[in-house]
Amino acid sequence: MFEPGNGSTSRMSGLLKWWGIDESGNTAALSMMTEQVQHLISSLQGIYADAYHRQLDLMAQANKNFSSGLSGLMSCRTPDEAVAAEMALLKSMAEDISAQCRSYVELTHKLTGCIEDIARQASLLPADAQKPDARETVQQSDGRNIKLVGAA
């Protein structure tokens, strides 16, 4: 496919053939694929940014709860108060860890949905991208229909 000495034009032609794009000058398929990748990158950045901010909020709350629990533990006067303060601190820690785990599960579900959407769109693009009657919407994993980026 890429033979030395044929120049950049032949290499580009070979690359376009490898991508499944004809050399007739129809760049619509390539533009559509590029827009799909840009949309993917944007979606992933949003998903990771949301998860990052959620984790920061959860860590701040966990630190606040832990400080409060230690303060309560240090102010105990009797063994019964100390046991109650320890249990409250442990309960708070367990709730904070649980919230962080739920946040990671939510992130995993969002990423899985994004990857499913990519696979679904990728299965449509190579054969359908150059056809005028290409599908314009895809059903996401959560049941919503989305318009394919670049679809007419």
pLDDT at 69: 94
Q: Is the dihedral of CA 17, 21, 26, 31 positive or negative?
A: negative
Instruction: Per-residue pLDDT tens, the chain, 152 aa: give them.
Output: 444 555 566 676 776 676 666 666 667 767 777 787 888 889 899 999 999 999 999 999 999 999 999 999 999 999 999 999 999 999 999 999 999 999 999 999 999 998 888 888 777 654 544 444 444 555 555 555 555 544 44
**Maximum Cα–Cα distance across the chain:** 87
Is residue 92 within 8 Å of residue 98, measured between CB atoms?
Answer: no
* Displacement of CA 134 from its chain's centroid (Å): 26
User: Is the Cβ–Cβ distance between 70 and 89 less than 8 Å?
Assistant: yes
pLDDT at 52 (0 to 100): 96
Could you tell me the pTM of the whole model?
0.61
Check residue 120 and give its pLDDT.
Answer: 81
Say what the pLDDT of residue 36 is.
79
> What's the pLDDT score for residue 102?
96
Sign of CA dihedral 45, 47, 48, 50: positive
Dihedral Cα 83, 86, 92, 98, nearest 10 deg: -100
Residue 14's contacts (CB-CB under 8 Å, 6 or more residues apart) are 1, 2
Residue type, 102: R
